[in-house]
Amino acid sequence: MVDYSEDNKAMGSSTGQGSADDPAYTIEQALSNLQQTDDPSARYYAAWWIGRFRVNEPTAIEALLTALEDESDRSPDGGYPLRRNAAKALGKLGDVSVVPALIHALNCSDYYVRESSAQSLEMLGDERAIPGLIRLLDGGVEAAQQVEGKPHLSEPYEAILEALGTLQAKNAVSLIEPFVNHFVPKVQFAAARALYQLTENPIYGERLVKALQETTLQVRRSALMDLGAIGYLGAVDAIANTLAENSLKLISLKGILEHHLTQQPIKQELDDDLVHLMNVMDSLL
Amino acid sequence: MEDQDIQSLIERVHKADSAVKLLTAVRSLASSGHQKAIPILIEALGYNNPGAAVAAVEGLINLGDMSVPYLLEQIDGYNYGARAWATRALAGIGHPSALDHLQEAALTDFSMSVRRSAAKGLGYIGWSKLSGLKVAEGQKKAIETLFKVLDDPEWVVRYAAVVGLQNLAVSLDEKSLVKSIFERLEQQLETESELGVCARIQLALQEIEVLGGKI
């Protein structure tokens, strides 16, 4: 699940150095801020900004790769804030030459660097990332425990499982399956989502449909986005009936619609399932 | 329903001291179908309680034409959230007197969910409630507005405009108008960037051809 709040956090930390809407903050400035090392917070912001505005230039890539190895910017608990932002930005620029560096970053001691790297590797869609992602599943569900005193598990399982699904890691199916029963709902859904993408077995689509009945809105929203991402046609009516904003239901249904449109030429007669789907969308406007 | 009963339903809305109580009170009032519920339901649009607002909008739509004058009267100078909900109610009712308001909302509201429901609403106006000459004028206005809405930056608003135009096309008798809608949608298909909207345009073109048989 993409976490937009991260972007907001980066925005918030930018006070005084030019915000996203500030026309005075230019690509040149972002690049020079990223290349300098005197002001860590300006560098941190520049890394975020370059990803946000997709500054896909060789100098940007080079500076982000350097930032991904940074040792200077450390958080009190030993994390690498700049590396996190660099890893995120590299996923957004769409340049697969950075894949080996991101694979390497999957071994970083900072959980959030590993998470951002896994998400970026998913975005870049390069299957070279599969073995490195699979390695993070070592120990299986038993090892996937809460880290004491931290708000997260031992590895960023949600991001790892989603990436393996998107990257079509067929050889990972048996490793992913046990995670459907993990104690954290979001991990369960990420596993179901990946397994549906890898096997197209409706059991996994139905697992996500069931999540549309969960009592917390946040979980239902997350299931809506997952169903849209995997294009599970069997979910259409359940999506319409779940308790959530129509806007999110419409995005989810559009995801399913487009998933099926890419499999058949658009000029062709629309099949009944898709017509039904669009009728449901109409009713939610 | 007796006047006394509606009064007690209204009282329950005013006395609700929690979000859940407010929601259930608005729901009961909405399902009363009583004209006296209208001003209170409109008031409930401004309570910043989405559940209650949804229930109130449904109630107002079910009350139909009766609520239109109240909605139009209250809509100006209202807080933004309430205005958005009232627009949805007017779109759902489809009374021609809301045409100006829906046009403005579809083109200029800053919230895409308001623009989207106003756009759909423009395609579902009950023209029979207007007298002869005004019908042609109103239909032309609705179509011209929706053509502009097809340029909205948000896919969901363009999608809603297609839905509105399809319904207009299949419900209109005037062949030249139907033809202009058909051609505009064909043209949109050439430039539309979102696959999902393209599919909806294709469906609209099919429906207009099949049901209309008038192109």
CATH number at residue B204: 1.25.10.10
In chain A, how many domains are there?
Answer: 1
* Euclidean distance between CA atoms A262 and A239, whole angstroms: 21
Beta-carbon separation of A285 and B163 below 8 A: yes
Query: Same domain for B186 and B197?
Result: yes
Query: Same domain for B85 and B98?
Result: no
* Contacts with B, A 218-277, CB within 8 Å: 246-247, 250-251, 254, 257-258, 261-262, 266-267, 269-270, 274-275
Residues across chain B = 215
Give pTM, 2 decimals: 0.83
Beta-carbon separation of A281 and B200 below 8 A: yes
- Out of B25, B59, B93, pick the residue that ends a domain: B93
Query: Same domain for B85 and B107?
Result: no
Beta-carbon separation of B196 and A246 below 8 A: no
Query: Same domain for B109 and B190?
Result: yes
Region at A200 (left for phi over 0; alpha for psi -120 to 50; beta for the rest)? left
Q: Which domain holds residue A67?
A: 25-124
CATH number at residue A60: 1.25.10.10
d(CA A94, nearest CA chain B) in Å = 20
* Euclidean distance between CA atoms A263 and A270, whole angstroms: 12
Query: Residues of B at the A interface (Cβ-Cβ below 8 Å)?
Result: 112-113, 116-117, 119-120, 155-156, 159-160, 163, 194-196, 198-200, 202-203, 206
Q: Which domain holds residue B112?
A: 94-215
Beta-carbon separation of B163 and A258 below 8 A: no
Q: Which residues of B touch A275 (CB under 8 A)?
A: 203
Nearest to B113 among A247, A258, A278 (CB): A247
* Euclidean distance between CA atoms B215 and B206, whole angstroms: 12
Asked if residue A18 belongs to a domain, the reply is: no
Per-residue pLDDT of chain A (285 residues; tens, 9 = 90+): 444 344 443 443 444 444 555 556 899 999 999 999 899 999 999 999 999 999 999 999 999 999 999 999 999 888 999 999 999 999 999 999 999 999 999 999 999 999 999 999 999 999 999 999 999 999 999 999 999 989 999 999 999 999 999 999 999 999 999 999 999 999 999 999 999 999 999 999 999 999 999 999 999 999 999 999 999 999 999 999 999 999 999 999 999 999 998 766 656 678 899 999 999 999 999
Query: Same domain for B124 and B34?
Result: no
d(CA B5, nearest CA chain A) in Å = 30
Query: Same domain for B61 and B123?
Result: no
In chain B, how many domains are there?
Answer: 2
Query: Same domain for B80 and B147?
Result: no
Query: Same domain for B100 and B74?
Result: no
Q: A52-55: list long-range contacts, CB under 8 Å, 24+ apart.
A: A52/A7, A52/A10, A52/A20, A52/A89, A52/A92, A53/A20, A53/A27, A54/A92, A54/A93, A54/A94, A55/A27, A55/A30, A55/A31, A55/A93
Two tokens at B13? 């809305």
Which helix or strand (DSSP H or E) is residue A83 part of?
A: helix A81-92
Q: Which ipTM value was assigned to this complex?
A: 0.90
Asked if residue A93 belongs to a domain, the reply is: yes
* Euclidean distance between CA atoms A7 and A22, whole angstroms: 16
Query: Same domain for B89 and B105?
Result: no
Query: Same domain for B48 and B144?
Result: no
